[in-house]
Structure 1
Amino acid sequence: MLNSLGIAKPPAETRVVVAMSGGVDSSVVAALLKEEGYDVVGITLQLYDFGAALRKGACCAGQDIYDAATVAERIGIPHYVLDYESRFKEQVIEEFADSYARGETPIPCVRCNQTVKFRDLLATARDLGADALATGHYVQRHLGPDGPELLRGADAARDQSYFLFATTPEQLAYLRFPLGHLSKLETRDLAQRYGLSVHDKPDSQDICFVPDGDYAAIVKRLRPEAVEPGEIVDLAGRVVGQHQGVIHYTIGQRRGLGLGAEVSGGEPLFVIRLEPNRRRVIVGPRAALGRDRVHVKEVNWLGAPGVTEAACTVKLRSAQAPIPATLVRQADGSGTLTLTAPQHGIAPGQAAVFYDGERVLGGGWITATELSDLEVAA
């Protein structure tokens, strides 16, 4: 007989490691599983320097580690803090800086889930003899005909599936998401019922390792060449302004260009593409942003085995509603999405996440885009 986590053991004989970030979600997961009688072990990751991390709106910071320890003591489970700072710097922060230097718009939270949390922490959980690793993400895991499937969270406003597209089938077999069927309000109500001090703690905001949202300062320190000044050029090649580094711009950006109305003839200008090797920012009208073909790399496939072409919907940004597309996957891990209608502001470095209804089919990293009737990719 299977327990509530789908494991053929009594809860008392089932060890579950809970990734405790110090926030309300993972704290409720630990308390919920403890109440159900599981052998729960809490683990919190120290990902970067305490001094730089003692601020509100962060995660895996000094205050968060204290909060996680307080919750663990309250519910009576062992709690360990693991120093993953060097791994986090190498696998997340350095990659973040490199991505911006390449003219991309990175998503470090996905890389963190992909590497530090769902690879390294998962291995540690296995070393501790755990039967599963549980997190507070708002996604759902169901068993399908080919094994575990990843689905969007029941609360569309809290769904985090976009950020977990890189979860592999092997990892999904080991992971559990006990909050996937709940809303945030229901989670906070549970935290109050369990008497957890974090029941009204604000959600983490922005990128955890970027103080005050100033990501450019991080990139400047790690990759100073990425903030060299250069030219802002229109689609005809005419220099219309100067910039202080391509890292300050992203595809589709309108605000902060510093260009007067005389440059655009009164028409709003947008960032059309970035050329970091030439230190150029290319601007043009909104119509020039339209793209209906999206190339991706490092595709992680969670759909039926062997499928290389699929009709799907795709999210090209975390806050975007899924749009219809056709995906063709290649053996080298790359793929091409053909959209049913052009979209504006698709940025390399972001993720393209594929869905079949509520099910996550996988995703990949956007490398380039084009408009199907143009010969030159943007």
Structure 2
Amino acid sequence: MADLRRTCLYDLHEELGAKLVPFAGYEMPVQYPMGVLKEHLHTRAQAGLFDVSHMGQVILRPKGDMAALEAAFEALMPVAVTGLAEGRQRYGLFTNARGGILDDLMFANRGDHLFVVVNAACKETDIAHMTAHLGPVAKVEPVTDRALLALQGPEAEAVLAALVPQVAEMRFMDVIAVDTVFGALWISRSGYSGEDGFEISLPEASAPDFARNLLAHPAVAPIGLGARDSLRLEAGLCLYGHDIDENTTPVAAGLSWAIQKARRRGGAREGGFPGAERILQELAEGAPALRVGFHPETRAPMREGTVIWDAPEGGRNVGGITSGGYGPSVEAPIAMGYVPQDCAEPGTRLWGELRGKRLPVTVSELPFRPSTYKR
């Protein structure tokens, strides 16, 4: 643990009795005394507070006009940037020349600049990637003095609105900036739990007091990485480095919904991004393998690395599980992974190899539990 970085909320995590573990180069809370299962269910029923300050926050500031920055940023991914309205946020994907995913991210149009949030494990390479490709048109400014918190769950709006009334008017993927006694808050109505909620960037110096104010509300509990993982798994959301990586295309990953019509064949700004030939072909014809959900017909979860077969004996090794565990809200083991197109139809029976035995799994649609975003 000696070489790990700590977020500005480290002392609060210790005070709250968190179990701390290494994650993406940081010492992070995996759970609190409530335990992973209860933290998960509390977030679904009320509101959970997550420290996600380990993630990368970056400002892209145009050297000239915003249009040139938007066009250059759009050239790095199959997602439309030009045309994103001020005060709105979008899910994005950096791709490589083979159509694989370098990272998934969120970006927001804040009027005179773009604000980008990238995964913790990828932030140094992402910043280098953006610097190399956007240098002529933008200043790439890593944000190093702000924390990032996520408040998620059905009570999140009421809790945050008591401190920042403006959030009650926000809808899913809206972004606002508000000056408060805690400093300037950059708020998006988004998250990675499948619940309505918010992500709040704020000055590190005021983050502990802000977190304590939220935790003082009876509906709010601190939530660790364990429940964050089970929440996103139930919501069918990918974890970079597990469900998606530089060898996975957006189409195979089931992320075609993130590619707007303007970037597809026949669109106004068709192609022009790394890996366009392969991705556009897969959009038209399908990918050889697809991300699907699995319902293991066992009491024990099937976790990442479990091999999937198309028969209880012999047969083909058709794929594997990339994320798996127990779903507290669905009260059953659940998993995600990749299988060929001919095995990807919901209802298909396959077999996962668990401790040398092949046990049945059923392919299912994603998500396992409907999301509750405020549209």
Q: Same fold (TM over 0.5)?
A: no
Q: Which has the higher contact order (CA 8 A, sep 6+)?
A: 2
Which structure shows the higher strand fraction? Answer: 2
| Higher-Rg member (1/2) | 1
